[in-house]
């Protein structure tokens, strides 16, 4: 692309959503997609599930023809070093690429473990990370997964399903106690254990040696491989250096995904976007929300009005169980667990408004919860 056009940085769901929406609204302006990842755009959710279990290799988001048919140029395996917001160009390998509009969809990077031997741990974000982990898992008898967020729980269950003896370690007594509450954490613990993994809570990792992990309680856990699943850090360095407003490593954007710099938009895990239903900015790290925000950024870049108003949410698969979550995700004052015959619902409230719902085999509650969260209505059960 020598002509100016839309530049999209990042080939995750936010970037793909942005390029697709822009092209829907604008058939003629050149669209160039630049991504540090050298693989064709793919789905990340299977990487800790079916792909890690060895049940699929097919994670492509679209066939190569999809991009050609839409006249979207793909530049892969290339990093954008700098954006000059005043000059209106991005710098790649010292060359200036001018844009009419730019969408930053640079996502996030897994946090490494800052302990002795931390570099021995596998990380899981990209397809090449997942390929390395899966290859190592094929020869492993035992594994330690550090961190019991959804990716940690999913990966622990998938490794266990492969016949690996898995120990999941995390600082909280039950998985995600801080984020989802103790009752919900106990349900997640049950799913992790049913999948065949062992959970050790209330500990941190002090060191990783060749062949074992040293825990803060003095115990050593023998293992052939270690996976660090200790959260992510948004990739906002380029935005920060360009002078865009960034808060807690996320790029501040309005409901239309516009940043504080002209013609620059941001979407997905790297963005801290205003949600019109919530009436405040909401941080998300979910696939569908990244795709939705990307589509809004692409429409806005094409000059079409669009605003983010949907309730964030995701599905996670732990062993054979699909847990579904809709929530603003920025805290709750009370929660109530209701057990069903083969599942559960956890309602979350703050200031008499539903702020989240977590379900297993309770799709009616999941759908109802989305509506109540969006409206700011009370939960449909007493919270005492």
Q: How many residues bind ligand FAD (CB under 6 A)?
A: 37
Q: Cβ of residue 290: shortest distance to ligand FAD, in angstroms?
A: 3
Q: Cβ of residue 216: shortest distance to ligand FAD, in angstroms?
A: 26
How far apart CA 83 and CA 105 sit, in angstroms, is 13
Side-chain-side CA neighbours of residue 96 (13 Å): 8
Q: Does 158 bind ligand FAD (CB under 6 A)?
A: no
Q: Does 359 bind ligand FAD (CB under 6 A)?
A: no
Q: Cβ of residue 291: shortest distance to ligand FAD, in angstroms?
A: 8
Contacting ligand FAD (CB under 6 A), which of 29, 48, 167, 354?
Answer: 48
Q: Cβ of residue 230: shortest distance to ligand FAD, in angstroms?
A: 13
In whole angstroms, how far apart are CA 17 and each of 62, 252, 253, 268, 295? 12, 19, 17, 10, 5
Q: Does 148 bind ligand FAD (CB under 6 A)?
A: no
Nearer to ligand FAD, 155 or 215 (CB): 155
Q: Cβ of residue 357: shortest distance to ligand FAD, in angstroms?
A: 15
Q: Does 298 bind ligand FAD (CB under 6 A)?
A: no
Q: Does 80 bind ligand FAD (CB under 6 A)?
A: yes
How far apart CA 109 and CA 79 sit, in angstroms, is 14
How far apart CA 273 and CA 293 sit, in angstroms, is 8
Q: Does 208 bind ligand FAD (CB under 6 A)?
A: no
Contacting ligand FAD (CB under 6 A), which of 7, 47, 302, 311?
Answer: 47
Q: Does 20 bind ligand FAD (CB under 6 A)?
A: no
Q: Does 316 bind ligand FAD (CB under 6 A)?
A: yes
Q: Quick one: three-class SS letters along the chain?
A: CCCCEEEEECCCHHHHHHHHHHHHHCCCCCEEEEECCCCCCECCHHHHCHHHHCCCCCCECCCHHHHHHCCEEEEECCCCCEEECCCCEEEECCEEEEEEEEEECCCEEECCCCCECHHHCECCCCHHHHHHHHHHHHCCCEEEEECCCHHHHHHHHHHHHCCCEEEEEECCCCCCHHHHCHHHHHHHHHHHHHCCCEEEECCCEEEEECCEEEECCCCEEECCEEEECCCEEECCHHHHHCCCCEECCEEEECCCCECCCCCEEECHHHEEEEECCCCEEECCCCHHHHHHHHHHHHHHHCCCCCCCCCCCEEEEEECCEEEEEEECCCCCCEEEEEECCCCEEEEEEECCEEEEEEEECCHHHHHHHHHHHHHCCCCCCCCC
Q: Does 203 bind ligand FAD (CB under 6 A)?
A: no
Q: Cβ of residue 155: shortest distance to ligand FAD, in angstroms?
A: 7
Q: Does 10 bind ligand FAD (CB under 6 A)?
A: yes
Q: Cβ of residue 270: shortest distance to ligand FAD, in angstroms?
A: 6
Tell which positions 258-277 bind ligand FAD, by CB under 6 A.
Answer: 268-270
Nearer to ligand FAD, 39 or 207 (CB): 39
Q: Does 36 bind ligand FAD (CB under 6 A)?
A: yes
Is 56 in contact with 50 (CB distance < 8 Å)?
yes
Contacting ligand FAD (CB under 6 A), which of 32, 33, 37, 225?
Answer: 37
Nearer to ligand FAD, 268 or 298 (CB): 268
Per CB under 6 A, which region of 43-51, 199-207, 335-343, 346-354 contacts ligand FAD?
A: 43-51
Q: Does 285 bind ligand FAD (CB under 6 A)?
A: yes
Per CB under 6 A, which region of 214-222, 249-257, 310-318, 370-378 contacts ligand FAD?
A: 310-318
Q: Cβ of residue 90: shortest distance to ligand FAD, in angstroms?
A: 9
Site residues for ligand FAD per CB under 6 A = 9-15, 34-37, 44-45, 47-48, 79-80, 105-108, 124-125, 151, 235, 238, 268-270, 285-288, 290, 314-316
């Amino acid at each position: 692309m020598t002509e100016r056009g839309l530049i999209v940085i990042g080939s995750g769901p936010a970037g793909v959503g942005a390029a697709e929406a822009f092209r829907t609204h604008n058939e003629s302006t050149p669209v160039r997609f630049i991504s540090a990842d050298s693989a064709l755009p793919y789905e990340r959710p299977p990487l800790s599930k079916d792909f890690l279990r060895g049940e699929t290799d097919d994670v492509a988001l679209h066939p190569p023809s999809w991009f050609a048919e839409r006249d979207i140029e793909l530049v892969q395996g290339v990093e954008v070093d700098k954006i000059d917001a005043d000059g209106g160009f991005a710098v790649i390998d010292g060359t200036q690429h001018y844009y009419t509009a730019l969408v930053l969809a640079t996502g996030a990077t897994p946090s490494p473990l800052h302990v002795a031997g931390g570099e021995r741990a596998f990380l899981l974000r990209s397809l090449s990370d997942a390929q390395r982990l899966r290859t190592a898992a094929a020869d492993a008898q035992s594994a330690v997964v550090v961190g019991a967020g959804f990716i940690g729980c999913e990966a622990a269950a998938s490794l266990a399903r492969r016949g690996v003896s898995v120990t999941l370690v995390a600082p909280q007594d039950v998985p995600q106690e801080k984020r989802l509450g103790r009752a919900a954490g106990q349900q997640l613990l049950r799913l992790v254990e049913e999948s065949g993994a062992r959970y050790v809570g209330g500990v941190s990792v002090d060191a990783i040696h060749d062949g074992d992990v040293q825990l803060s309680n003095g115990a050593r856990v023998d293992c052939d491989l270690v996976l660090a699943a200790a959260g992510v850090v948004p990739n906002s360095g380029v935005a920060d250096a360009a002078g865009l407003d960034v808060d807690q490593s996320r790029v501040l954007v309005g409901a239309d995904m516009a940043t504080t710099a002209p013609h620059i938009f941001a979407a997905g895990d790297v963005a801290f976007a205003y949600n019109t239903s919530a009436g405040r900015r909401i941080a998300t790290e979910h696939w569908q929300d990244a795709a939705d925000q990307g589509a809004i950024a692409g429409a806005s870049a094409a000059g079409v009005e669009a605003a983010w108003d949907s309730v964030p949410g995701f599905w996670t698969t732990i062993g054979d169980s699909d847990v579904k979550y809709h929530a603003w995700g920025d805290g709750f004052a009370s929660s109530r667990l209701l057990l069903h015959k083969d599942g559960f619902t956890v309602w979350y409230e703050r200031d008499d408004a539903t702020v989240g719902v977590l379900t297993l085999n309770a799709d009616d509650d999941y759908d109802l919860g989305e509506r109540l969260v969006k409206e700011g209505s009370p939960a449909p059960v007493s919270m005492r």
